[in-house]
Structures are given as structure tokens and as C-alpha cells.
Structure 1
Amino acid sequence: MIETGELVLLISPKGKRYMYKYDPEGEIHTNDGKILMADVGAAGFGRPAKSHLGRPYLVLKPTLHDLIKNVRRQTQIMYPKEIGYVLLKLGIGPGTTVIESGTGSGGLTTALAWTVGDTGHVYTYERREDFYKLAGKNLRRVGLDHRVTQTNKNIEDGFDHTGADALFLDVRTPWEYIHHIPAAVKPGAMCGFLLPTTNQVSDLLRALEAGPFEDSEVLEILVRHWKPVADRLRPDDRMVAHTGFLVFSRYMEPQPEEPVEEAPEAEEAAPEAPAEASAAEPEASEE
């Protein structure tokens, strides 16, 4: 059964994907004809629903990958190929608290909110009001806004939240905000960053090396798809190659320096007294 308001993914005979909230009274108009939502509900997930022209559309429950790819965007979003690695590397799971800055259109925010579950929480910061509002709409559209606290501010003055299990910055100059991280996360928390160019990565690495961070990693992720046709299996003609550098490092709580005990100064030896004669000199005899 498909419940009212539940997200439904429809795939056309040509492979085009459409996502809607299920409304049993609604209808969808496509190039393949009109599809009644009641017919979608009657078909259920995993079965086709036909348009009035008889064209079958697959009815599916959207995955996290589908949600990310269908984010309405005004900015470039992170690709699933990076997001999957970020979730694993940051240790995101049910009950995790994570801070994000650079919400953008909310692609990564959606993935974080999906993964932390109802027992975790996402605190995301975005300085631009238009992106802040768009991300909120995207989160409400997929029913994940209750797991996210949005803040419309620049993080130049620090974060409003503390004690996070992980942190991710998708901002242009993350090295300028490194000094705010210790107050926002737990000791040992994994921190991630996304940057497009090598000179930005170098600037970030210098800041990490100067701060209380260890176990750093820099990488990019390339994915090449293949044509799924058994009789002519070969790579696709095009691929999404470099989309950004990922940088990870762990925040390590600085240990107080132990005072160095100074070695005691050696006492000066007292000057030796002149040695006394062991015997009196004999007197001169008179002849």
C-alpha cells in the first residue's frame, strides 16, 4: 500500500525519472499520456502503472540516491559518488550528530538527515538566504526536515552548536574557520572538507598541520559507468570525472604541556684550606 503523501518514483519506458508525493485524487501529465495517481496506488511499488495511452511506468519507492538526484537546485550539489564515501568516512549512522556548513541546495544535507535517523540530528549552516530557503523546501519535500536544524548565518563567528560527532565544511576558504572546530566537535571527531582546486587543498593542509589535527587524507573519486547491454558491453561514452577533492582529518584534543623540571644547580665547592705541615721544621743547631 502507498500512503497519502508518500514519495513515489515513476520511470518512463525511455528511462526518465519523475518523483511525486502520492495523492490518490491527483493525476500526472506526461508525453506518454495521463497517469492517474489512483492507478499508481492500485499498482503499488514494484509494478507498472499505465497511462491512458497504455504506456507502462514503473512504480518504485525512491532510494536515497534518487532523493539526491532529484534535489531542486540553484547550486552544484555533491554527487552520490562523493556522498557515499563522506558518510562512511565521517562515521554517520543512526544517532549521529553532525554539523555541516555550506548547505547549498541540500544534497548532502538530505543524505545526512536520511542516515542519522530519528535519533540523530543534522545542524547545517548557510550564509545565503536564497539557498537557505531552497534547502528547507527540499528537505520538507522529502519529509526529512524534522531531523535538521537550519541556521542562516556565516560561520566566521563560530558555530552555535557543540559536541558534534562529525563535521563537514563545503565552503570556499575552510582554513579560515579551522579555529572554530574544537569548540564544535568531540575530541577524535572526523572532519571533512570539499574543495575544487589543488591550491585550496594546499592552504587547508597547512592549516590542519598547524592545528590539533591528525590522520589526514586527500582524494578524488571517479566513477565510470558501462552500458548495461549484454551483447555490446562497453563503457559509456561520457563520464563524470573530477568534481572535487575530499579532505579528511581528525580533531585531536591538545594535551596540556607537562612542566619541565629544571635540574638542581650544583653547589659550589668551598675553597680548600692550605695543607698544614705534618711536622715542625727542625731548628738550626748552634755550633
Structure 2
Amino acid sequence: MKIAEGDYVLVLTSEEKKYLVEVKEGFFHTHKDFLDLKDLVGKTYGEIVYGKKGEKFYVLKPSLYDFLMKIERATQVVYPKDIGYILLKLNIGPGSVVLECGGGSGALTTALAFMVGQEGKVISYERELKFQQIAIKNLKRLGLLDRVVFKNVEVVEAFEEEEVDAVFLDLKEPWYLISAAWKALKGGHFLGILVPTANQVSQCLLEIQRLPFLDIEVSEILLRKYKPNPERLRPEDRMVAHTGYLIFAKKVVEK
């Protein structure tokens, strides 16, 4: 596949530093060299290109993970290590209709929109317009904006939607909207919540257990990477540890 103007590429330097770059008029600079981005048009992903001073650059196809790691943000975002598990637990796939409340800068929104496909839909509630505008910019980069309905309102008692496949809450006090989530969900379908502290988990559990939800789970995902040296294999010095607690439950009609 040939690279075209307007595409995004992942530029990897000889020192293996990564940069997500849009192919357009202008230059890409590092401390060692620079590229005329127009020179990338017509190249194939995986090729080596050389800077104006002879430095070697690798031009790679960016993955969804790469986009999420380079996302523009004005808020704390949901990390890829958590997003993968969330997508599986909420059973997100082509055609899903999923509601999120607390969209923030749009990291999870982006992943949800990618997974629901052309036939699905993401409804994203966010009360702060400035955050939502950043999320819209992030969705545009991947061409996923048409899969998302943005709602700049603060939900107090109920969502406008019913019979959705999944609901995800990423709020300071999500327990106030768990009842609203139950009403919005299809029977037997999936609620997810992300909170940063243990006392918030307890508050959520009290409300979940009061309502017709079953199959309740609380989890935390830690990610430890290793230095890819076959002769001295060892963990990286730093790791992405606690980012939040995940809570999941399934709606039932009664219990």
C-alpha cells in the first residue's frame, strides 16, 4: 500500500524513537536530521527513507495502539492496557451500539468507534465542551468521526437512549448514574466502570448490588514490559502499574 498525502505514518529513528506524523506540506525534524514529508508520498510502509543529512528513518504503518499513545489530551485518558480488556468485557464488535459517559479526550471513544465498525454507533456524553472538542479532533485523525454521536450535556437522572449493547462510565461519582445505565441497557448486557480509588469502587458496588445486576467483577490490570535483549532479558526499569480499577456487571430483569 502506497503512502498518500494526508496519511499518518509512524516514523522510527535509528535510535528507535517513535513519532506519529501526518504526511503533508512541511518538514519533520529530529535533533540529528529532518525529512521533507512530501518525499514520503508514494513510498511503501516498511521502507527506509533518508533525511537531508543522510540519517536513516523507518516509515511504518501506525496501529490503533500508536494513535492512542500519541493522542492529544487535556484529561487523564484510559490506557491501552485497560482498553483491551474493556472491549472484551463489554463485547464490543461490529454493529454494537455503546454508550459512554465521561468521554474526556476520547481515547476510549476512539477504540470503541474503531471496533463497532460502519454499522455500529458510539454515543459519547461529556459535559465539558473543551474536552469534547479535543476528542472530536482525535477521532478525525483516524476517520472515525461518523461513528460517534457527541452529546455535550451533564446527565443527572437518565440517558436519552434505551436498549444499548453496553454502557461505560468514567466519572468522578459514577454511582449516581448506575441506575440510569441499567435503564439504558438491553437485558443481559454489559456495564463497565473505571474509577481511580478503592473507596470509589466501594460506592459503586453498593449501588450495583442494590440493582438487578449480576456477574459482578472488580479488577486491576498491570503491564510490565521487558527489555528486548536476548542476552540480558530483564524487566524495564519503569512500568505502567495502577491506572484505575475496572468494575463490570451484567443487567438482569430482576434478582
Q: Shorter-chain TM-score: what band?
A: over 0.9
Instruction: After superposition, give the CA deviation of every residue in 1:150-188 in whole Å (9 maximum; x if it has no partner).
Output: 111111132122221111000111111112123312111
TM-superposed deviation, 1:42: 3.9
TM-superposed deviation, 1:91: 0.4
Instruction: After superposition, give the CA deviation of every residue in 1:231-283 in whole Å (9 maximum; x if it has no partner).
Output: 1111111111111100000011238xxxxxxxxxxxxxxxxxxxxxxxxxxxx
1:123 to 2:100 alignment: no
SS in 2 for 1:230: coil
TM-superposed deviation, 1:39: 2.6
1:50 to 2:50 alignment: yes
SS in 2 for 1:156: coil
1:234 to 2:234 alignment: yes
Q: Which residue of 1 aligns with 2:17?
A: 16
Kindly provide the amino acid, as one letter, of the partner of residue 152 in structure 1.
N
SS in 2 for 1:68: helix
Task: Give distance in 1, aligned partners of 2:58 and 2:146.
Answer: 30
TM-superposed deviation, 1:82: 0.4
CA contact (8 A) 1:32 1:51 kept: no
TM-superposed deviation, 1:127: 0.8
Of the structure 1 ranges 83-92 and 180-189, higher mean CA displacement relative to structure 2 is found in 180-189
Task: Give distance in 1, aligned partners of 2:86 and 2:72.
Answer: 21
Q: Which residue of 1 aligns with 2:170?
A: 170
Matches within 5 A, 1:213-232: 213-232=213-232
Task: Give distance in 1, aligned partners of 2:253 and 2:50.
Answer: 60
In the alignment, structure 2 segments of 5+ residues that lack a partner are none
1:158 to 2:155 alignment: no
Q: Which residue of 2 aligns with 1:29?
A: 29
Matches within 5 A, 1:271-286: none
Instruction: After superposition, give the CA deviation of every residue in 1:133-162 in whole Å (9 maximum; x if it has no partner).
Output: 111111112221111111111111321222
Percent identity, aligned pairs only? 44
TM-superposed deviation, 1:209: 0.6
Task: Give distance in 1, aligned partners of 2:120 and 2:22.
Answer: 25
Of the structure 1 ranges 174-183 and 223-232, higher mean CA displacement relative to structure 2 is found in 174-183
Q: Which residue of 2 aligns with 1:244?
A: 244
SS in 2 for 1:193: strand
Kindly provide the amino acid, as one letter, of the partner of residue 205 in structure 1.
L
TM-superposed deviation, 1:230: 1.1
Task: Give distance in 1, aligned partners of 2:36 and 2:211.
Answer: 59
Of the structure 1 ranges 34-43 and 164-173, higher mean CA displacement relative to structure 2 is found in 34-43
SS in 1 for 2:221: coil
SS in 2 for 1:238: coil
SS in 1 for 2:75: coil
Of the structure 1 ranges 129-138 and 1-10, higher mean CA displacement relative to structure 2 is found in 1-10
Kindly provide the amino acid, as one letter, of the partner of residue 160 in structure 2.
D
Q: Which residue of 2 aligns with 1:5?
A: 6
Q: Normalising by structure 1, what TM-score? A: 0.85
Kindly provide the amino acid, as one letter, of the partner of residue 5 in structure 2.
T
Task: Give distance in 2, aligned partners of 1:69 and 1:117.
Answer: 21
CA contact (8 A) 1:226 1:236 kept: yes
Q: Normalising by structure 2, what TM-score? A: 0.95
Task: Give distance in 2, aligned partners of 1:91 and 1:115.
Answer: 10
Task: Give distance in 2, aligned partners of 1:179 and 1:42.
Answer: 53
In the alignment, structure 1 segments of 5+ residues that lack a partner are 256-287
Task: Give distance in 2, aligned partners of 1:22 and 1:163.
Answer: 41
CA contact (8 A) 1:103 1:132 kept: yes
Task: Give distance in 2, aligned partners of 1:157 and 1:207.
Answer: 14
Matches within 5 A, 1:78-97: 78-97=78-97
Q: For this pair of structures, how many residues does the alignment match?
A: 254
Q: Which residue of 1 aligns with 2:98?
A: 98
Q: CA RMSD in A?
A: 1.4
CA contact (8 A) 1:73 1:105 kept: yes
Task: Give distance in 2, aligned partners of 1:166 and 1:18.
Answer: 34
SS in 2 for 1:155: coil
Kindly provide the amino acid, as one letter, of the partner of residue 235 in structure 1.
P
Of the structure 1 ranges 158-167 and 31-40, higher mean CA displacement relative to structure 2 is found in 31-40
CA contact (8 A) 2:5 2:41 kept: no
TM-superposed deviation, 1:10: 0.9
SS in 1 for 2:122: strand
With CA pairs under 8 Å and 6+ residues apart, which has the higher RCO, 1 or 2?
2
